[in-house]
């Protein structure tokens, strides 16, 4: 063995002795994202609280909102949260087809929620109560519309994950993604309960 080979053998060798766990950083990053979303919705709720009674001589919440329709839409979103929980239980059992089934049911509930919300927006604008009619309606459309955009994104994400699970199964990466979407979906439910109580109920009954 020549001198060069001896020197190379004496160089320290660095090996990974532990399996890397990127899911830890992924979950932490997603929690940070949810906290930033909390701040966005907090600002929107605060804005609505300040200007929510500025009707500019226009219609008030009691004139515009159909609480039975909003209650139905609330039930759709809450049911979607329950069915997503069923999907997660099936994921823990490593039951691929059952997981996909409950994810599909969740997607149907989410799409129904979005369809009803779009109908409500169309109806309000058709009645002349668009977002430029008053400060109240501007804050209403901004808050509810922002939540609706989040549900739209979540539904697209849900469909994408269904495709991934159907192709690759419940591999660790897909499990981690399903966990992140679970937190996101339940977060949207909590926000909507605030919207239903603060915007609709207090607006009509307050």
Could you say which of 1.20.120.80, 2.40.50.140, 3.30.365.10, 1.10.10.10 is the CATH number of the domain covering 63-205? 1.20.120.80
16 falls in which pLDDT band (50, 70, 90)? very low
Query: Is the predicted pLDDT of residue 3 greater than 90, yes or no?
Result: no
Q: What is the 8-class DSSP label of residue 200?
A: I
Domain range list for the chain: 63-205
User: Radius of gyration over alpha carbons of the chain, in Å?
Assistant: 24
Kindly state the percentage of the chain with pLDDT values over 70: 88
List pLDDT tens digits, range 58-115: 899 999 999 999 999 999 999 999 999 999 999 999 999 999 999 999 999 999 999 9
């Amino acid at each position: 063995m020549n001198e060069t080979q001896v020197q190379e053998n004496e160089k320290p060798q660095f090996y990974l002795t532990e399996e890397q766990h990127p899911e830890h950083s992924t979950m932490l990053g997603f929690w940070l994202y949810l906290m930033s979303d909390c701040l966005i919705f907090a600002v929107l709720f605060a804005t609505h609280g300040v200007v929510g009674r500025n009707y500019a001589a226009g219609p008030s919440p009691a004139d515009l909102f159909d609480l039975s329709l909003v209650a139905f839409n609330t039930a759709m979103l809450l049911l979607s949260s329950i069915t997503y929980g069923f999907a997660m239980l099936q994921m823990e059992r490593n039951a691929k087809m059952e997981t996909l089934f409950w994810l599909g049911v969740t997607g149907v509930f989410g799409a129904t929620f979005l369809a009803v919300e779009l109908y409500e927006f169309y109806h309000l604008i058709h009645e002349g109560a668009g977002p430029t009619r008053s400060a109240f309606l501007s804050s209403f459309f901004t808050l509810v519309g922002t939540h609706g955009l989040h549900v739209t994104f979540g539904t697209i994400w849900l469909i994408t994950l269904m495709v991934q699970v159907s192709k690759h199964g419940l591999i660790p990466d897909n499990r981690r993604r399903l966990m992140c979407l679970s937190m996101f979906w339940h977060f949207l439910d909590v926000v909507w309960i605030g919207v239903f109580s603060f915007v609709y109920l207090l607006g009509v009954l307050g």
